[in-house]
């Protein structure tokens, strides 16, 4: 069984997807549709925007989703097929489109509202994030829960990598403890404490848009960050997606659930290869490929 994975925030870079866009005219629909809804030139945003500006939440989220969908459409035109989808954080929106849950137009409407709400919340509540390596996730959670200042474990990425989020004071407090335990702590270049309670205002604002969207049943297996498993019966998706903004990303649980269901091949669509690396660190006996440019598109062993 083949699973399509979709990149999360932080993977963006200037020029992403450009060679695929130029080589595959079928991808024009993504840029044209998104540009109209966002009222911005998505080609210019993805190809020409300087890194500092591109890394802003309000720019990074739509740019990454665009690139992910462009890479997917190019692969589909080469006879790629898949039986399941999952995304990491904002990657869930590309995954929902790929699974037939939402239209292309609604994918852009949702990501426009999400990015704006999260950028606003980050400006309102100072927050930061860091990746903790070489320490068991349960230990990371335990230390965060005992901190004086606010900090929480928010991304369970692999057995050896957990991302934390909170106030700068909270993250600094637990970082000292982690270093004493010989763990590696890497600050993330993000503007807020995503997937934590500091995003509550973003979840509330986003819900107002999400509740106006029509969600259909998936036509392939769809795995959720919030539950850590397959959604066999879709809940109130507007509520789930709002909750997603303030809930941990249970990616390790998702990967294990996929393998238990028979997944043995993973294709990551979008900039970078973060998820491909997490698959390889978490699962054994599977193959994983990232598709972000013409070279990786042609070289991936994912086609019929």
List alpha helices for the chain, DSSP H.
Answer: 18-23, 28-38, 42-48, 51-54, 57-76, 91-98, 104-124, 137-145, 168-180, 200-210, 237-245, 251-260, 274-282, 294-299
Question: φ, ψ for residue 54 (rounded to 5)?
Answer: -65, -30
Distances (CA, A) of 194 to 90, 120, 163, 200: 11, 12, 10, 10
Residues belonging to the active site: 89, 195
The residues, any chain, with a CB within 8 Å of residue 299's CB and separated by 6 or more, are 289
Question: Using CA atoms, how far apart are residues 188 and 257, in angstroms rounded to an integer?
Answer: 27
Q: List the Cα angle 10/268/93 in 5-degree steps.
A: 65
SS3 label, residue 15 = coil
Beta partners for residue 129, in sequence order: 165
Crossing angle for the helix pair 200-210 and 237-245, nearest 10 degrees? 160
The string over 118-139, giving b where at least 16 C-beta atoms fall within 10 Å of a residue's C-beta and e elsewhere, is bbbbbeebebbbbbbeebebeb
How, if at all, do strands 84-87 and 221-222 pair?
parallel
Q: Report the candidate in 263, 269, 265, 266 with the shortest Cα–Cα distance to residue 297.
A: 269
Distance CA 302, CA 209 (A): 36
């Amino acid at each position: 069984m083949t699973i399509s994975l979709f990149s999360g925030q932080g993977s963006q870079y200037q020029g992403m997807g450009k060679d695929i866009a130029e080589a595959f005219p079928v991808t024009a629909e993504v840029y044209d549709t998104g540009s109209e809804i966002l009222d911005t030139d998505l080609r210019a945003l993805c190809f020409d925007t300087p890194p500092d500006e591109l890394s802003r939440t309000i720019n990074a989220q739509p740019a990454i989703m665009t690139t992910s969908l462009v890479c997917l459409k190019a692969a589909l035109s080469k006879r790629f097929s898949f039986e399941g989808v999952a995304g990491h954080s904002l990657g869930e929106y590309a995954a929902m489109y790929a699974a037939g849950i939402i239209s292309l137009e609604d994918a852009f409407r949702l990501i426009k509202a999400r990015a704006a709400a999260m950028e606003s919340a980050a400006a309102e509540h100072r927050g930061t994030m860091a990746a903790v390596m070489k320490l068991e996730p349960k230990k990371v959670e335990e230390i965060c829960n005992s901190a004086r200042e606010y900090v929480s474990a928010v991304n369970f990425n692999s057995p050896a990598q957990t991302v934390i989020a909170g106030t700068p004071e909270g993250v600094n407090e637990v970082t000292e403890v982690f270093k004493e335990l010989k763990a590696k702590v890497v600050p993330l270049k993000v503007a807020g404490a995503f997937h934590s309670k500091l995003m509550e205002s973003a979840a509330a604002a986003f819900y107002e848009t999400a509740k106006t969207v029509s969600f259909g049943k998936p036509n392939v297996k769809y795995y959720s960050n919030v539950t850590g498993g397959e959604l066999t019966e879709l809940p109130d998706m507007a509520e789930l997606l709002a909750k997603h903004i303030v809930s941990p990303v249970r990616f390790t649980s998702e990967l294990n659930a996929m393998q238990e269901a028979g997944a043995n091949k993973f294709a990551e669509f979008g900039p970078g290869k973060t998820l491909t690396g997490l698959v390889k660190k978490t699962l054994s006996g599977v193959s994983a490929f990232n598709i972000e440019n013409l070279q990786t598109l042609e070289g991936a062993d994912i086609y019929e």
